[in-house]
Structures are given as C-alpha cells and as structure tokens.
Amino acid sequence: MEQISFDDFLKVDVRVGRIVEVQPFPAARTPAYQLVVDFGAQLGRKRSSAQLTQRYTPEQLLGRQVLAVVNFPPRQIANFFSEVLVLGVPDTEGNVVLIEPADEVPLGGRLY
C-alpha cells in the first residue's frame, strides 16, 4: 500500500450532502442511478452516477445523507456527466454500501 502525506489527504475534499433526486440510468453499462446531491448553500447541487441498484431502491435513497468527493473533475458516463463521487464500500457480495453520517449533520460539512 502506498503511503500519502497528511497534505495529500487534505487535497481530497469529502463533504456531506443529501440525495434529493434519483433517476434510473439505463445507458450505464453497469446498473446505476443518476443522483442529484444537495451540498448546501456553498456548493449547491451536484450530479453523480452511482452503482447502488443492488442494495437500494430510489425511495430508500431519497433524503439520505451521504459522503462524496466533490473536487474531482467531472466524468462522462454514457450521456451523463458525474460531478461528484458518492462514497461506499462493498459488502460480502460486492454490492456498494453507502458511507453516511451516523447522525444528521449540516449539509456541506467537510470530512477531516
């Protein structure tokens, strides 16, 4: 495993946001949703493609607070530009489990 410095870690801007829109993404090669995540007044709303269909329905995602990297360049996935990377870890079957705060926190809060 490659080591990084603390300054390298600080370059990755991870913020809390709330999922406010969920749409199917049939053009994606791997089943995914198109999400709109609200990061509060400072960052606003950002779009993301997320492979969450195996564990979550759209109804389960709406209103959920999640952590996302907000300072990657946009990435084109099929006909969609993903602006942030919503974070998760795989379960024992390889399906993504979202990383989310244990309690309600202010939108836009930064992970340190």
Question: What is the largest distance, in Å, between two alpha-carbon atoms of the chain?
Answer: 40
pLDDT, average across residues 2-17: 96
pLDDT at 112 over 90: no
Check whether 111 has a pLDDT greater than 90. Answer: yes
Q: What is the pLDDT of residues 44-103, one digit of tens each?
A: 999 999 999 999 999 999 999 999 999 999 999 999 999 999 999 999 999 999 999 999
Distance between CA atoms of residues 96 and 112, nearest Å: 23
Which domains are assigned to the chain?
13-98 (2.40.50.140)
Q: Cα dist. 29→1, 2, 26, 60 in Å?
A: 30, 30, 8, 23
Question: Which residue has 């600080």 as its token pair?
Answer: 10
Write b or e for each residue in 9-38: b if 16 or more Cβ atoms lie within 10 A of its Cβ, otherwise e: eeeeebbbbbbeebeebeebeeebbbbbbb
